[in-house]
Structure 1
């Protein structure tokens, strides 16, 4: 069994996201919150996530 098999899923995620040459600890910061209420799973994008889904901001034409 390799050492990687003994890692938790969170440790594996952190290891993968920080293994690139220019990676920082911020790259492994959480980006989502998962909660379950009455058997329904909800996934929310964290307000403090540096990387968010969606297109780039389009400047308004004032």
Structure 2
């Protein structure tokens, strides 16, 4: 049974990261770059923060508009 995302495997014998990589690279024209990380997750003082990486090729939102300053 899977308990966390730190490399622990579940009943399939694969970690979450291995499953993600397998899924993102299984298409006929997929490359290793397709499995590149797109987010950074940090945990501090009971708070989980998820940030879109600056070097992510695919980002949420309208690609035709400039992002607003936070």
Cα RMSD, aligned residues only: 1.8
Structure with higher Rg: it is 1
- What residue is the counterpart of 1:11 in the other structure? 18
Runs of 4+ in 1 over 4 A off after TM superposition: none
> Which of the pair is proportionally richer in helix?
1
- What residue is the counterpart of 1:26 in the other structure? 33
Q: 1:32-62: per-residue Cα shift (whole Å, max 9, x none)?
A: 000011111000000010101011224xxxx
Verify: 1:57 aligned to 2:64, yes or no. Answer: yes
Q: Which has the higher contact order (CA 8 A, sep 6+)?
A: 1
Aligned partners of 1:36, 1:20: CA distance in 2, in Å? 32
In structure 2, stretches of 5+ residues that fail to align are: 1-10, 66-70
